[in-house]
Amino acid sequence: MSVDPEALLPAFEAVLDLIGPLRLRNCPCCPTPRQEAFLRLSAPEAFYGGAAGGGKTVALLMSAAQYTDVPGYDALLVRPTLPELERPGGLIDLSHDWFAQRRAVWQAERRVWRFPGPGRSGAGGAAIWFGYLDGQADVAKYAGSNYSFLGFDELPQLDELSYHRMRRILRQATNQPNLGRSPDGLNLAGVPVRIRATGNPGGPHHDWIRRYFVDPDTRADGVVYLPSRWDDNSYLDREAYLEQLKHLPPAERERLINGDWDVPDDGSIFQRHWFEIIKLEDVPEPERSVRYWDLAGGVPTPGNPDPDFSVGLRLDLVDGIYYITGIIRDRRHAGEIEQLLAATAEQDGPNVQIWIEQEPGSHSEFFEQHLRREVLNGYSLKMDRPTGSKEARAYAVASAAEQGWIKLVAGPHTAEFLDELAQFPGRHDDCVDALAGAHRALGRRNRIQWGSGVPTGSIYDYPADDGLGRIWSNPSLFR
């Protein structure tokens, strides 16, 4: 089959736009093919992530050192904590192996390597700095700095807002054309400003990494993702390393061996595979429906970059099966939350009963009356004051899900919903609270009576019935 060369030109041009020349400076080892691909990337923002053992950290130090022969060049490499930087085999330890014999000077108190500049004095050379960044409190200490290169090692440990706020220090110290030049004639004005990051699947901020860098459907414009594979690293004792990874829990093992960003977490209460994902058109006409709200007014701020979400979950009941047919998950100011409640109620219609979790407090009655008269007038509204721990309330709906009695309609928040359930108890529990509340609300009309002598008080761990008349067999779980 003949191929028209002109038809291939756009693809070739795209590749040429993506890669540049290989530039190695102050690096004593030869990069692997995948590390070389990382070093050749011309994109301003790139993430090298996936399987463990692929040489990602080494590639990050190589990348930071690429312009250490250019006067005035500054690079910053960060990890979440200082001990991670200083541990054996870490970035600082590796940098000593590389730079100590190359006329560079280590300033331990400032954690910086200074490379000699042009001329006899050697002043005005490049520098590689090492720092730690564990969230918003650490971002401020870098204010006023200028770096041509930002390198994040193990980025899934860092929240998204902190990552983006660090962009304000990514800039050349100066772009004057009369700066000193490297031996090959390059000055600071010609050095590309870059962000490079590495990491493995998992970690507390796995989800935003997958969305922003990895998933081609949601990846940010201009961002390049380079997958890491453990068997790409010829310097690694592959058989011994693989044997060590085989002892990890299943989810972690799959992530680190195969670099799979879609492998689910091992949940302690919920499992993702319990929720069959279906299409909305496959949901029968509901017998009863509720929309349960777990409200949280607020948007991300420097002082609280990761606030709770307001979640409104719709649950339909049909022939003993629960269908999650709508999930609203948003962060808004308090006034906007009321608009969201009203708009959702209008969309759901009057046949969907509205439940709202009500926090105890002196203003709770006023809030309820305000909602009934001014926000949700004409709709059926119930205020819920749940008792017991969040975990205890979650067990009931988790039991129903494990039996296959809960199905999930695919929607824009499906991934976030399953992530939160799998990580529960975790940082956010808004979706769990909304699901447990909706399940509890629908089950209240289906309670059946126990025989005499059986306690009817509050649930300790598991429910006496699941809202469908199915009785759990261990009476010792109740009080």
DSSP string for 393-446? HHHHHHHHHHTT-EEEE--TTHHHHHHHHHH-SSS--HHHHHHHHHHHHHHGGG
pLDDT the model gives residue 285? 95
Name which of 101-115, 192-206, 414-428 the model is least confident about.
414-428
Task: Write down the architecture of domain 272-477 according to CATH.
Answer: 2-Layer Sandwich (3.30)
How buried is residue 304: exposed, middle or buried, by Cβ count under 10 Å (0-12/13-18/19+)? exposed
* Total length of the chain: 479
Taking the C-alpha atoms of residue 437 and residue 397, their distance in angstroms, rounded to an integer, is: 9
Do strands 149-152 and 223-228 pair parallel, antiparallel, or not at all (unpaired)?
Answer: unpaired
Contact between 200 and 52 under an 8 Å Cβ cutoff? The reply is yes
Name which of 68-72, 188-192, 215-219, 234-238 the model is least confident about.
234-238
Of residues 266 and 79, more confidence is placed in 79
Of residues 217 and 239, more confidence is placed in 217
Token pair in block for residue 251: 């989810």
Predicted confidence (pLDDT) at residue 10 exceeds the cutoff of 70? no
Quick one: pLDDT band at residue 474, thresholds 50, 70, 90?
very low
Taking the C-alpha atoms of residue 13 and residue 226, their distance in angstroms, rounded to an integer, is: 19
pLDDT the model gives residue 72? 92
pLDDT the model gives residue 56? 93
Taking the C-alpha atoms of residue 75 and residue 63, their distance in angstroms, rounded to an integer, is: 10
Average pLDDT over residues 20-45: 92
How remote is the C-alpha of 449 from its chain's centroid? 45
Domain boundaries, the chain: 15-258, 272-477
pLDDT in tens, 78-131: 999 888 888 888 899 999 999 988 889 999 999 999 998 775 545 578 999 999
In degrees to the nearest 10, what's the CA dihedral of 204, 269, 436, 425? -30
pLDDT the model gives residue 450? 30
Taking the C-alpha atoms of residue 68 and residue 71, their distance in angstroms, rounded to an integer, is: 8
Average pLDDT over residues 270-297: 92
Do strands 381-384 and 74-79 pair parallel, antiparallel, or not at all (unpaired)?
Answer: unpaired
pLDDT the model gives residue 214? 94
Taking the C-alpha atoms of residue 404 and residue 407, their distance in angstroms, rounded to an integer, is: 7
pLDDT in tens, 63-77: 999 999 999 999 999
Predicted confidence (pLDDT) at residue 35 exceeds the cutoff of 90? yes
Phi, psi of 149 (to 5 degrees): -140, 130
Quick one: pLDDT band at residue 445, thresholds 50, 70, 90?
low
Taking the C-alpha atoms of residue 125 and residue 147, their distance in angstroms, rounded to an integer, is: 14
Average pLDDT over residues 210-218: 92
Domain spanning 15-258 has what CATH number?
3.40.50.300
Predicted confidence (pLDDT) at residue 156 exceeds the cutoff of 70? yes
pLDDT in tens, 311-334: 999 999 999 999 999 999 999 888
Give this prediction's pTM.
0.60
Taken in order 377, 381, 385, 388, is the CA torsion positive or negative?
negative
Token pair in block for residue 384: 């819920």
Taking the C-alpha atoms of residue 472 and residue 466, their distance in angstroms, rounded to an integer, is: 8
Of 80, 65, 415, whose CA–CA distance to 262 is shortest? 415
